[in-house]
Amino acid sequence: MKDNFNSLNDIIKFFDDVSALVDEIVDTNFPPSLAETYIEPATDLFETEHKVFIILDLPGVVKENLHIAIGPTMVLVQGIKPRPEQMQAGASFYNLEIAYGIFKKRIYLPSRVKINSVQVSLKNGILTMEFNKDKKLTRIVKIE
């Protein structure tokens, strides 16, 4: 069995790569003034014997405004939920309870997953992700 990480440097490089990917997604897809404030969508996370499931509530979000980054133990979902066209400047607002703007959700998985096994769908404002579990265990290292 081949190990994914051969040294501490490999692990650090992996996390640096993931961090750089997240920064690139935020920097290239969102205006700088909005990059610090975001909405966290409601999320369900559960597993069965062989699968891990994530369900996010994203009403009004289209796939073109959605970005997903996947690692074996974490998933990052982010995007933009735009205001409806009817909400024009100059309108008088009496009740504003619906959140619009940038959303971001970092989800730490309960089990390692095979990232190439993911099945993703966005239907009626519900984002569903299904992963096969990765049965590889963390390597135990003996200290001499």
Is residue 122 included in any domain, yes or no? yes
Q: Flag whether pLDDT at 6 surpasses 70.
A: no
Percent of the chain with pLDDT over 70: 71
pLDDT tens, 47-77?
A: 999 999 999 999 999 999 999 999 888 999 9
Cβ(136)–Cβ(1) under 8 Å? yes
In angstroms, the CA 9 to CA 11 distance is 5
Predicted confidence band of residue 128 (pLDDT cuts 50, 70, 90): very high
Is residue 50 included in any domain, yes or no? yes
Structural domain boundaries enclosing 108:
38-86+97-132
What is the structure's pLDDT at 85?
81
What average pLDDT does range 88-116 have in this prediction?
87
Tally of domains within the chain:
1
Is residue 14 included in any domain, yes or no? no
Q: Any idea what DSSP says for residue 49?
A: S
CATH of the domain at 78: 2.60.40.790
Predicted confidence band of residue 35 (pLDDT cuts 50, 70, 90): very low
Average pLDDT over the chain, rounded to whole? 81
Q: What is the pTM of this model?
A: 0.68
Listed in sequence order, the DSSP H helices in the chain are 8-29
